[in-house]
């Protein structure tokens, strides 16, 4: 602080400025920004008309009446299922870029929970697994 006053006085007197201004710490501003980001990410977002876009203008996802639909850049549906504003919940469907169903499974708070089915391109069940809290149940 004393150095800042000295430089200010020297400038006011028309003297050449000598010394180095110390930069104020940015830590408080960075901490405040992180806190604000964390608070906003945990707050529930409105479900209607919430969207983001790819560079080509195509929506990355839409939320309508509690259902989130996620898109490929070309506009094809990538996945669809219940969304509570924060987490994926319930039965979700996943699609390949060609539009064919690739997987169906259940989520509980963004974690696989329940029966999951994977399909071939011809629609035949390729694999079936059960999950509990994100872990495969053996048996």
Q: Choose between 5 and 80: higher pLDDT.
A: 80
pLDDT tops 50 at residue 48: no
Helical H runs in the chain? Answer: 2-12, 27-42
In degrees and rounded to multiples of 5, residue 41 shows phi and psi of: -75, -25
Q: Extract the runs of DSSP E, i.e. beta strands, from the chain.
A: 50-53, 59-64, 67-71, 77-82, 90-95, 101-108, 111-112, 114-119, 125-132, 135-136
What is the model's pLDDT at position 45?
47
pTM of the entire structure?
0.60
Q: Choose between 38 and 64: higher pLDDT.
A: 64
What is the model's pLDDT at position 81?
97
Binning pLDDT at 50, 70 and 90, where does residue 46 land? very low
Q: Which of 7, 27, 25, 9 is nearest to 17 (CA)?
A: 7
Question: What mean pLDDT do residues 109-116 have?
Answer: 94
Question: What mean pLDDT do residues 107-132 have?
Answer: 94
Highest mean pLDDT among 2-6, 32-36, 46-50, 69-73: 69-73
What is the model's pLDDT at position 39?
60
């Amino acid at each position: 602080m004393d150095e800042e006053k000295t430089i200010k006085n020297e400038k006011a007197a028309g003297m050449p400025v000598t010394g180095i201004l110390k930069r104020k710490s940015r830590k408080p501003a960075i901490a405040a920004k992180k806190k604000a980001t964390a608070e906003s990410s945990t707050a529930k977002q409105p479900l209607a008309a919430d969207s983001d876009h790819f560079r080509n203008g195509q929506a990355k996802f839409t939320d309508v009446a509690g259902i989130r639909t996620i898109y490929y850049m070309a506009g094809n549906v990538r996945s669809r299922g219940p969304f509570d504003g924060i987490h994926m919940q319930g039965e979700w469907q996943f699609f390949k870029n060609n539009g064919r169903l690739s997987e169906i499974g259940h989520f509980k708070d963004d974690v696989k929970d329940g029966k999951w089915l994977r399909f071939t391109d011809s629609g035949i069940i390729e694999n079936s697994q059960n999950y509990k809290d994100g872990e495969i149940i053996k048996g």
